[in-house]
Amino acid sequence: MKFFTKDRTPRGKILAYCVLVLHGAIALFVPILHLTPTDEQDATTMLQGISVDHWLGTDGLGRDVFSRVLHGGRPSLVIALVATAIAAMIGVLLGSFAALAGGWIDEALSRLIDFLLAVPTLILLLLIASFFGQDPVILSLTLGLMYAPPIARVSRASTQILLARDFVRVARLQGGNGLTILVSEILPNIWQVVFNEIAMQFTWIILAFSSLSFLGLGVTPPTPEWGLMIAEARSYMTINPVSVIAPICMLASLVLAVQALVDHE
């Protein structure tokens, strides 16, 4: 993995990798563990503390928090991965194409990117989720479109820097066309910077989606999702703080691990 780190891997980054792998493993394998079903309500065991039956206690409907917390990353992860892939594809292609084309095409695309950056993200998300239903396909498409502009901007800027470099000019002099130059001279050299930006946007997408769920417009209850779980558990936080703290820890550890791997400079 040379995407993230420059030379050696410091301990913090190793830890971050482990956390990410753990999150991935949980999300992949939790269905085959046959935990308590996430929607199994039990009016007799509401708001219990930590016990052998319920490792992290139960929530206000008597559902098992441990099971819900382990399942709670799946919707965000799937939607965020799809949305990030869409955003990355649009962003990299749009950005590097703008820089390569230059002239008025570049000017027009840059203005477009600026406009898209000015679009208030959360309003749009709320509108789409509210009026078109909480459809994961529509949501991930919207998220992908909305988070593409920053990636496009970074791709454009770094492509432009590269275009001024002599080896790219030589490639043009040697008869390379736009596509071959993009693939063999530019992408290998901007990939690290662009990947950083993509990883950054991945965390923002996860956060946007869980904020949406927190506001009740992400996943449909009873599907377990961390943002939704925090929103639900807030009302009885004083009775069973674990039901809030557990999803917070899961969400925080996931986004912080990705952030720790991003070179912030």
Partner 1 sequence: MGLSQSSSMLFGGKTSAFRDGNVKSILQRVFFSTCAFVALAAVAFIGIDALPGDGCTALLGRFGTDEQVSECRTENELDQPLINRLGSWANDLVHGDLGYSIKRDQSVDEIILPRIRNTLFLGLVAAVIAFPSAVVIGLLVGRFPKSRVGRIINAGSVIMMTLPEFVTATILWLVFAIWIPIFPGVTVVSSDASLAELLPNVWMPALTLAAVVFAHSMRTTRAGVSVVQMMPFIESARLRGTNERVILFRHILPAALPPVVNAIAVDLAWLFTGTFVTEAVFNYRGLGRLAIDAISDRDTSLILPIVLFSLAMYLTMSLVADIVVKILDPRLRVERR
Partner 2 sequence: MNNILSFDQVCVEASSAKAADFPILDSISLNLQQGESLGIVGGSGSGKSTLLRVAMGILARGLSLASGTVVTAGVDLLNVGPEMRQKMYGNKIALVPQSIGEALSPHRTIEGHFKDTLGSAASIEKIVDALVDSGLEGSKFLHRFPHQVSGGERQRILLALALVRSPELLLLDEPTSALDRDVAAEVLATISRLQEKRRFALICVSHDFEVVRRTCSQLAVMNHGRIVERGPTDHVLTKPTDSYTKALLDSIPKPNHRIRESHSMGPNSVISANKISVIRGTKNRVLDSLDFEVRQGEVVGVIGQSGSGKSTLLSVICGLVSPSSGSICTGDGFDLSIPLAKRPLNITGAIQLVFQNPDDSLNPKRTVQQSLSRYSGATVSQLIQVLESVELTSTFLSRYPSEMSGGEKQRVAIARALLTQPKILLLDEVTSALDVNIQAAVFQMLAKVQQSTKMAMVIVSHDLELVASFADRLVVLRDGQAIEHDSAQIR
Binding of partner 1 at residue 248 (CB under 8 A)?
yes
CA distance 211 to 217: 9
DSSP 72: T
Residue 201 Cα distances to 89, 135, 164, 198, 258, angstroms: 13, 21, 27, 5, 10
With CB under 5 to 8 Å by kind, the binding choice for 105 among partner 2, partner 1, none is: none
What string marks each residue from 174 to 213 as x (binds partner 2 by CB under 8 A) or -? xxxx--x---xx--xx------------------------
Nearest residue (CB) to partner 2, 51 versus 184: 184
Q: What is the dihedral of CA 72, 24, 79, 198, to 10 degrees?
A: 130
Binding of partner 1 at residue 227 (CB under 8 A)?
yes
Bridge partners for 58 per DSSP: 64
Single residue of 19, 35, 81, 215 touching partner 1 by CB under 8 A: 215
Single residue of 93, 145, 171, 193 touching partner 2 by CB under 8 A: 171
With CB under 5 to 8 Å by kind, the binding choice for 265 among partner 2, partner 1, none is: partner 1
DSSP 46: T
| Binders of partner 1 in range 108-147 (CB under 8 A) | 111, 114-115, 118-120, 122-123, 126-127, 130-131
DSSP string, 148-209: HHHHHHHHHHHHHHHHTSHHHHHHHHTT--HHHHIIIIIHHHHHHHHHHHHHHHHHHHHHHH
Angle between helices 187-214 and 136-146 (to 10 degrees): 130
**Do residues 92 and 84 lie in contact, with contact meaning Cβ atoms separated by under 8 Å?**
no
Nearest residue (CB) to partner 1, 24 versus 133: 133
What string marks each residue from 181 to 210 as x (binds partner 1 by CB under 8 A) or -? ----------------------x---x--x
Bridge partners for 64 per DSSP: 58
Residues making contact with partner 2 (CB under 8 A): 165-167, 169-177, 180, 184-185, 188-189
Residues making contact with partner 1 (CB under 8 A): 111, 114-115, 118-120, 122-123, 126-127, 130-131, 203, 207, 210-211, 214-215, 227, 230-231, 234, 237-238, 241, 244, 248, 251-252, 255-256, 259-260, 264-265
